[in-house]
């Protein structure tokens, strides 16, 4: 009687081991077909571990402290599992007659690291005034690195800013801006008109939909950034280098 019980237990253990092995093989085959053959570890983990820490934060930029902001800044933290060089696209949108309309777009490179995980996107307000669209506004963000793309998603909503609370846009009077030299001249003209002394020229770039001209401030550790659209409208931001 004791031998029979031992035999039953032995066969039960063998059956259990076989069952576990079969389940393991089935799971392995399923994962093989679920995972693309040309996918590497980075691509698989990247989709799961690059996240936008929603919602972001809106701030208004009022350079001359006249209670009329010149720009909208949107700040958002990004969580990732490794350092990466991303291209960030942000769209500022406002609602009119029930539909969301694009008001400004900013595209910027962003090198993520644990110590540098927050993006800051600056949006001009010309179209807010042109189309007379009051807040709340929303910002949609997408990320790109090589062939990998994090699809666009809404990252935050602003308070109800009145459209006429922003600074009126000012043209340089130089007409359409089509080249690096014309962008530089537009920045210099605007600075001279507003009695602002410029230091050395740092950089000139065309960032998706407008020119970006950076000068060292004549005094202090500041960068004077001129945002110039092709129609010659200029905005200036003061950026701390620290």
Both tokens of 216, joined, read: 């060292």
Mean pLDDT, residues 95-100: 90
The partner residues of 198 in beta bridges, in order of sequence, read 217
At residue 121's C-alpha, the angle toward residues 120 and 126, to 5°, is 145
- The pLDDT tens digits of the residues spanning 102-130 come to 888 887 788 888 888 898 888 888 888 88
As a whole number, the mean pLDDT across the chain is 76
Whole-number Cα distances in Å, 224 to 10, 110, 217, 241: 81, 20, 6, 10
**Which CATH number is correct for 50-165, 3.30.200.20, 3.20.20.140, 2.60.40.10, 3.30.830.10?**
2.60.40.10
Q: Where are the domains of the chain?
A: 2-34, 50-165, 170-240
pLDDT, tens only, 160-211: 999 989 876 544 444 567 778 888 888 888 888 778 889 999 888 876 677 8
């Amino acid at each position: 009687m004791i031998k029979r019980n031992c035999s039953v237990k032995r066969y039960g253990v063998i059956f259990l081991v076989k069952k576990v092995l079969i389940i393991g093989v089935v799971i392995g085959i399923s994962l093989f077909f679920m995972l693309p053959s040309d996918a590497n570890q980075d691509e698989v983990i990247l989709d799961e571990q690059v996240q936008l820490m929603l919602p972001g934060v809106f701030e208004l930029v009022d350079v001359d402290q006249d209670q009329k902001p010149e720009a909208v800044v949107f700040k958002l933290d990004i969580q990732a599992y490794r350092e990466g060089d991303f291209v960030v696209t942000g769209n500022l949108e406002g609602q009119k007659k029930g539909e969301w309309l694009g008001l400004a777009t900013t595209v910027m490179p962003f090198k993520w690291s644990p110590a540098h995980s927050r993006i800051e996107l600056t949006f001009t307000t010309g179209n807010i005034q042109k189309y007379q669209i009051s807040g709340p506004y929303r910002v949609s963000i997408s990320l790109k690195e090589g062939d990998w793309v994090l699809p666009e998603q809404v990252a935050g909503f602003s308070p109800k800013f009145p459209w006429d609370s922003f600074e009126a846009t000012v043209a340089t009077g130089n007409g359409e801006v089509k080249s690096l030299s014309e962008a530089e001249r537009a920045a210099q003209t605007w600075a001279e008109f507003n009695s602002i002394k410029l230091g050395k020229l740092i950089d000139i770039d065309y960032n998706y939909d407008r020119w970006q001209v950076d000068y060292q401030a004549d005094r202090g550790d500041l960068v004077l950034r001129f945002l110039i659209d092709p129609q010659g409208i200029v905005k200036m931001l003061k950026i701390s280098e620290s």
